[in-house]
Amino acid sequence: MNTIEQYIRDVQDFPKEGIQFKDITTLLQDPKGINDCLTNLLNLLEDKKIDKVVGMESRGFFFGTLLAQKLNAGFVPVRKPGKLPYKSISESYELEYGTDNLEIHIDSIKKGEKVLVHDDVLATGGTAEAVKKLVERLGGEIVQFNFIMQLDFLNGKEKLKGYNVQSVLNY
């Protein structure tokens, strides 16, 4: 068992019936858990050059900002509609329990910048696919997708074919 797995809590029927949610708030409550998780995420990168770390709302912000700091890179939040204060572009996506939209500032990524996309969980891949489209519309080059955990049975990695997709834990 990976050392961070002990910090992940399963919550049945959240956010709706039939979903078993992987909760990282228990991981965030423990300094050793945070450090172990960050170390594992950094190890997935194998010294790749990163200019920007893109974190997906909202759980992707926690480790996304830490990764950016350790990599001496900028951090770019991708948010739900109406949450960013400046001009943005939008992309819709489907997730295992509905549909939504994501936005990114139009000036957050410059053409040719090397981008790491980070989130806590890769499930169906809809969110990650939407972020991929946003980053590439701005001219960013995705170096890698990084996740704390991947739910293999939902086949989210299929939506990211041709990209380097890494996760600390696989379920």
Active site residues: 59, 96
Query: Which runs of consecutive H residues, i.e. helices, occur in the chain?
Result: 25-28, 31-43, 60-71, 126-137
In whole angstroms, give the CA distance from residue 144 to residue 13. 31
3 state SS of 98: strand
Count the helix, strand and coil residues of the chain and give each as a percent rounded to the nearest 5: 30, 35, 35
Burial 20-45 (b: 16+ CB within 10 A, else e): eebebeebeeeeebbebbbebbbebb
Cβ contact 68:45 at 8 Å: no
Tokens of 74: 């900028």
Cβ contact 90:101 at 8 Å: yes
Q: Dihedrals φ, ψ of 102, to 5°?
A: -130, 150
